[in-house]
């Protein structure tokens, strides 16, 4: 898979010309990251990526018109929710138009010619290092080195590392950066998936069965959460995710994010829900990820 590249800020790899008609998606991270994989998976292999150092910059790229979409992780099956992106969804108000799930398979990557027994430093994002603890413990005299991004760590090893350095990342990143794969499938738990959301400036009406993401604030009284869930059950909607975040300016009160799935749209349930909660916002209606 190949894609053209735009950088937000300083270009590490340089900007390349955009292909006409190809969707531009902002991501947090470098080329070869799992966010890059998710963008190609969600939008097609012709998709271009606009690299950003932070999740906020990825949202800003869409809000300012530099990218058509942002593809952002929202939860991992082992680590849990990415709370920052829930907060940014509320702040920017960009509608969710899709989602995709990426199997996180990790490999040990190094410069061509590097021998496994020579490795003394392994670079990667702290989460990736933590997910490969058993493999790292099996190596002799190896120091884990935390970086801000898995694919960025691979780039650093390829450009500036020695034959004593390796990085943990995806096989896709290995192909993209020309790295050698010293070991594959090194994660402790193979049931490792990350769910990514696709957000845009304009909502899109999906066809068929849909998932709806909601943000609700409850009345501060007994039974308020139960009353909020009742309309969803009444209209045949299955709650697949519920997440609470602090409500700014109101200590010890919370906003709830819900994902619901049903045979049609959730408009009737939302209308009824609005009468029993302090506030409700539809964050997006979209096709559920295919497994």
Three-class SS of the chain: CCCCEEECCCCCCCCCCCCCCCCEEEEECCCCCHHHHHHHHHHCCCCEEEEECCHHHHHHHHHCCCCCEEEEEEEECCCEECHHHHHHHHHHCCCEEEEEEEECCCEEEECCCCCHHHCCEEEECHHHHHCCHHHHHHCCCCEEEECCCHHHHHHHHHHHCCCCEEEEECHHHHHHHCCEEEECCCCCCCCCEEEEEEEECCCCCCCCCEEEEEEEECCCCCCHHHHHHHHHHHCCCEEEEEEEEECCCCCCCEEEEEEEEECCCCHHHHHHHHCCCCEEEEEEEECCCCC
What is the Cα 18 distance to its own chain's centre?
24
Q: Which of 34, 55, 196, 256 is catalytic?
A: 196
Q: Which of 100, 114, 150, 194 is catalytic?
A: 194
Quote the CA–CA distance of 185 and 181 in Å, as a whole number: 11
Maximal CA-CA distance, the chain: 66
Quote the CA–CA distance of 215 and 219 in Å, as a whole number: 14
Catalytic residue list contains 196: yes
Decide: 156 and 150 in contact? Cβ < 8 Å: no
What residues are labeled active site?
Answer: 194, 196
């Amino acid at each position: 898979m190949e894609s053209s590249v735009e950088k937000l800020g300083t270009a590490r790899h340089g900007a390349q010309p955009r292909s006409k008609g190809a969707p531009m998606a902002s991501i947090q991270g470098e080329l070869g990251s799992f966010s890059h994989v998710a963008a190609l998976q969600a939008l097609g292999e012709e998709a271009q990526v606009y690299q950003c150092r932070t999740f906020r910059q990825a949202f800003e790229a869409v809000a300012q018109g530099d990218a058509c979409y942002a593809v952002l992780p929202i939860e991992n099956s082992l680590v849990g929710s990415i709370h920052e992106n829930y907060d940014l969804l509320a702040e920017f108000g960009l509608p969710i138009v899709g989602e995709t799930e990426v199997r996180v398979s990790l490999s040990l990557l190094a410069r061509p010619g590097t021998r496994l027994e020579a490795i003394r430093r392994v670079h990667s994002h702290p989460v990736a290092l933590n997910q490969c603890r058993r493999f790292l413990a099996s190596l002799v005299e190896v120091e884990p080195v935390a970086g801000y991004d898995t694919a960025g760590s691979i780039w650093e090893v390829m450009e500036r590392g020695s034959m004593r350095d390796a990085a943990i990342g995806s096989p896709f990143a290995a192909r993209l950066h020309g790295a050698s794969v010293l070991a594959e499938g090194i994660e402790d738990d193979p049931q490792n998936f990350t769910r990514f959301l696709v957000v845009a400036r304009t909502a899109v009406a999906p066809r068929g069965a849909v998932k709806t993401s909601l943000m609700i604030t409850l009345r501060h009284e007994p039974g308020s959460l139960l009353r909020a869930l009742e309309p969803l059950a009444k209209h045949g909607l299955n709650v697949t995710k519920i997440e609470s975040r602090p409500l700014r300016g109101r200590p010890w009160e919370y906003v709830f994010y819900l994902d619901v799935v049903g045979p049609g749209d959730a408009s009737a349930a939302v209308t009824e829900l609005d009468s029993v909660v302090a506030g409700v916002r539809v964050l997006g209606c979209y096709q559920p990820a295919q497994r």
